[in-house]
Amino acid sequence: MIAPHQKGRLVVVQNVTEENLQAHVDRFTAQGFTVMRGVFTADEVARMRAASERVVSKVRADPMSFDAPTVPRFTDRTEGALDTWGVDNMFAPRLYEADLGAIFGHERFMEFSHAVLGPNLRFWAAHLLWSPERTSYELGWHKDQHDNEQYDPTGRSLHVQFNVCLTEDTSFRAVPGSHRRPLTDAERAAVTTDSSRPLDGEVRVECEAGDVIYMNHHMVHRGSCEPSRFRRTLHMNVQSMEEQTGGQTSYSYMRELGYLESVDPALAALMRKAIEWDDAHPVDRAEARRRMRISHDLRRSTAGAAGTGK
């Protein structure tokens, strides 16, 4: 459980006791995230770790050879000193690993998303995050998709975002309850300037390998990691077919002949739903331009000392 917040104090979330599924759903609704311990066994983590190492090696070998939507995340883009901390769209054909693609068929892992969203889900995102080799990163406070003013007083969510921790992980920080109210003046200043300075009420979450953080991405949150703190984390998202935002992630590779037949059946089913939703909800030009700006910002950004912080 989270300890009562004291002004100016960072609360560390750890040693969460085992609880039933409904307790986790209630916490997710109330505070914007919950941590389920030991979702994956040591053997399952080992297989996913091995698969993640193959992905990391491919990206680090030649990060500048990748292009959207498979975008490496950088802490340093200096020529001769490229340093990465992750990659977007790890299920693209060049990076796909069967032991990672199989995650959406894992019953215990998926039961939380089904409890929150029901059975009719679509794929939204799948990224791999890791510790940089030389340059630490401190992401600025943000709400994903630049939806800074998005909130629901009831805490209801039509998406579930999750970090699957394959190592010990203390990178995730959040402001519980910020998905249910307008931003405070300090939070608004932080998200608009990409600041990583402490915020009132923030918590840091400590996880072990096999734990999963389920979160609402409308909660104010950020991440950080140093080269000395070895990290491998899967960062993914599914959405209800009822969700009216956040679509248009059925990337061209998903529509290539034979691709969906080559990946895990549970993943393919979610991707087919993403294609179905996107085809039924085309975006107008203004929204397409907004999404393009977000994509360009991501490709240009660095998260290290020379970057913008996100």
For the cut 80, the answer to whether the pLDDT of residue 298 exceeds it is no
Are 273 and 241 in contact by the 8 Å Cβ rule? The answer is yes
What does the pLDDT read at residue 5? 40
In this prediction, residue 39 has a pLDDT band, given cuts at 50, 70 and 90, of very high
> 41-75 pLDDT, tens per residue?
999 999 999 999 999 999 999 999 998 899 999 99
Strand segments (E) across 137-231: 137-138, 159-165, 172-174, 203-205, 212-215, 221-225
Tell me how far apart the alpha carbons of residues 198 and 175 are, in angstroms, rounded to a whole number. 10
pLDDT digits (tens, 9 = 90+) for 232-256: 999 999 999 999 877 789 999 999 9
Q: What average pLDDT does this structure show over 8-14?
A: 54
Least Cα distance to 308 among 190, 140, 147, 84 occurs for 140
Give tens-digit pLDDT for 85-138: 999 999 999 999 999 999 999 999 999 999 999 999 999 999 999 999 999 999
Q: What is the pLDDT of residues 182-206, one digit of tens each?
A: 999 999 999 999 999 999 999 999 9
Res 309 pLDDT > 50: no
Burial 233-271 (b: 16+ CB within 10 A, else e): bbbbbbbbbebeebbbbbbebbeeeebbeebbeebbbbb
Statement: residue 286 has pLDDT above 80: no
Q: How far apart (Å, rounded) are the C-alpha atoms in residues 67 and 59?
A: 11
| Peptide bond just before 69 cis, omega within 30 deg | yes
Averaged pLDDT for residues 265-279: 97
pLDDT at residue 284, as a whole number: 76
Write down the mean pLDDT value for the chain: 90
pLDDT band at 11 (very low <50, low <70, confident <90, very high): low
Question: Could you tell me whether strands 221-225 and 172-174 are parallel, antiparallel, or unpaired per DSSP bridges?
Answer: antiparallel
Sign of CA dihedral 179, 185, 189, 192: positive
Cα–Cα distances in angstroms (integers) from residue 184 to residues 126, 181, 270, in the given order: 30, 9, 36
pTM (two decimals): 0.91
Residue 246's pLDDT is 75
> Is residue 211 pLDDT above 60, yes or no?
yes
Question: For the segment 129-188, what is each residue's pLDDT rounded down to a tens digit?
Answer: 999 999 999 999 999 988 899 999 999 999 999 999 999 999 999 999 999 999 999 999
For 287, how many CA atoms within 13 A lie in the half-sphere containing its CB?
Answer: 10
- Asked whether the predicted pLDDT for residue 3 surpasses 60, the reply is no
Residue 174 contacts residue 2 (beta carbons within 8 Å): no
